[in-house]
Amino acid sequence: MLWRRRPNSPYIVLDGFAHPKFVTKELLMMMFEWGNKRAKDIGLEQHMNVTVFANGFYQDIFAEQLLTTFGYTPVVPNPDEHNVYLSKTLDNEILIPPLPDGYTILRLQETSSLEQYQSLSSFAQVNSEHQKELLESDEYSHFVIADQDGQFAAYCECSICRAEWDITNNRIGWIDYVETNPACQKRGFGEAALLSGLAQLRDWNADTAMLITINTNIPAMKLYDKVGFEPVPMTEPRRYEKEIVYSS
């Protein structure tokens, strides 16, 4: 799949995973060919150059050779900016602090609220049909903090995968996204939304919560530290990049 954090970002990530039982060089070639074509289409649609980063192919012996074949080059790691993996045990009850008067925490369930919800997010919008599936899932939750007029101040998305739990016997839940309306920051909304997500993970019987952020996102790092998250050592696969030049 191809994804990016913002709808008009020139940076796109090509992610993929092939089950070891079925992986072949030909299959991976098809995946790369599709990624190249779709990235070119995106550049044409938005009239701009795009840079594609390839992640997630580290489990396969053919990947590095094919990345070179398709014109990708290794990315030199930035010593000043990198992903940080954080975890928190869910042994204890999660206490959600009181909100300012007029605000409540709600679980997003109605599709009629999706437009307002997506306008709050600075990340790339999810396909509307997939968003509806997430709303109906018993393994994914959206929590929002709303004022008395129904306007959203912050949100948190959290998820689990019971099938993965059955295979690994490791009951990890994920905090996928946390964000606060810029006009509502420094009022405790982000913390309340995050804790609502953690409480849901605990209700789902997750033992541990995990999330990923960037070390340069200082406000987020302070928030996660405040609620008890701790760094987890992780080795990420080598990243590759390829620039696709737009031409009309």
Let me know whether 173 and 104 are in one domain: yes
Task: State the average pLDDT over residues 89-118.
Answer: 90
Q: Check which CATH number belongs to the domain holding 156 and give it.
A: 3.40.630.30
Let me know whether 21 and 48 are in one domain: yes
The pLDDT score that the predictor gives to residue 120 is 82
Let me know whether 64 and 96 are in one domain: no
Let me know whether 99 and 193 are in one domain: yes
The pLDDT score that the predictor gives to residue 91 is 95
Whether residue 86 is predicted with pLDDT greater than 90 in this model: the reply is yes
Whether residue 58 is predicted with pLDDT greater than 90 in this model: the reply is no
Q: Is residue 214 part of a domain?
A: no
Let me know whether 202 and 103 are in one domain: yes
Q: Is residue 216 part of a domain?
A: no
Of 144-158, 164-178, 230-244, minimum mean pLDDT range: 230-244
The pLDDT score that the predictor gives to residue 130 is 79
The pLDDT score that the predictor gives to residue 57 is 59
Task: State the average pLDDT over residues 46-57.
Answer: 83
Q: Is residue 157 part of a domain?
A: yes
Q: What is the pLDDT of residues 112-170, one digit of tens each?
A: 888 888 888 777 667 778 788 888 999 999 999 999 999 999 999 999 999 999 999 99
pLDDT cut 90: percent of the chain above it: 57
Q: Is residue 119 part of a domain?
A: yes
Let me know whether 116 and 184 are in one domain: yes
Let me know whether 52 and 98 are in one domain: no
Q: Is residue 229 part of a domain?
A: no
The pLDDT score that the predictor gives to residue 125 is 67
Task: State the average pLDDT over residues 75-100.
Answer: 92
Let me know whether 67 and 96 are in one domain: no
Q: Are strands 11-15 and 2-3 parallel, antiparallel or unpaired?
A: antiparallel
Q: Is residue 60 part of a domain?
A: yes
Q: What is the spatial distance between Cα 113 and Cα 151, in angstroms, rounded to a whole number?
A: 10
Let me know whether 40 and 113 are in one domain: no
Q: Is residue 217 part of a domain?
A: no
Q: What is the spatial distance between Cα 245 and Cα 57, in angstroms, rounded to a whole number?
A: 24
The pLDDT score that the predictor gives to residue 65 is 77
The pLDDT score that the predictor gives to residue 56 is 52
How many structural domains comprise the chain?
A: 2
The pLDDT score that the predictor gives to residue 170 is 94
Let me know whether 71 and 100 are in one domain: no
Q: What is the pLDDT of residues 15-29, one digit of tens each?
A: 877 676 777 778 888
Whether residue 61 is predicted with pLDDT greater than 60 in this model: the reply is no
Radius of gyration of the chain (CA): 20
Q: Is residue 121 part of a domain?
A: yes
Q: What is the spatial distance between Cα 12 and Cα 109, in angstroms, rounded to a whole number?
A: 30
Q: Which domain holds residue 62?
A: 2-78+236-244
Residue 231, classed as helix, strand or coil, is strand
Q: What is the spatial distance between Cα 51 and Cα 39, in angstroms, rounded to a whole number?
A: 9
pLDDT cut 70: percent of the chain above it: 93
Q: What is the mean pLDDT of the chain?
A: 88
Q: Tell which wins on pLDDT, 68 or 99.
A: 99
